[in-house]
Amino acid sequence: QKEVEQNSGPLSVPEGAIASLNCTYSDRVSQSFFWYRQYSGKSPELIMSIYSNGDKEDGRFTAQLNKASQYVSLLIRDSQPSDSATYLCAILYSTLTFGKGTMLLVSP
């Protein structure tokens, strides 16, 4: 059983702070990792993908991957109220397997 684990939250941060979202996974074979953002009532939208160990930055977002620890994280710098959403970690095995998501609340 391939599992993707996330803390359901909510994670509350003030506007301008750094939000740190974490995800662990069970299968060492995985090579492709994704973070999706899902607003309430909407379908997921891809924020970041990461395939190798280390950090990958895209604007205010940084994805971090540590395959030895089977851990992937997403940092959001200068958090904005519009970042309030549920963030889904997804791992590509033969198909995408999603975690349950972490709800992020950014307060003005």
Partner 1 sequence: GAVVSQHPSWVICKSGTSVKIECRSLDFQATTMFWYRQFPKQSLMLMATSNEGSKATYEQGVEKDKFLINHASLTLSTLTVTSAHPEDSSFYICSAPPTGVQETQYFGPGTRLLVL
Instruction: List residues binding partner 1 (CB under 8 A).
Output: 8, 32, 41-46, 49, 88, 92, 95-101
Task: Return the number of the residue (13 or 23) whose C-beta is nearest partner 1.
Answer: 23
Task: Return the number of the residue (27 or 45) whose C-beta is nearest partner 1.
Answer: 45
CB of 85 to partner 1, least distance (A): 14
CB of 16 to partner 1, least distance (A): 28
- Tokens matching residue 71: 């851990």
Whether the bond into 108 is cis, omega within 30 of 0:
no
**C-beta of residue 72 within 8 angstroms of C-beta of residue 23:** yes
**C-beta of residue 22 within 8 angstroms of C-beta of residue 35:** no
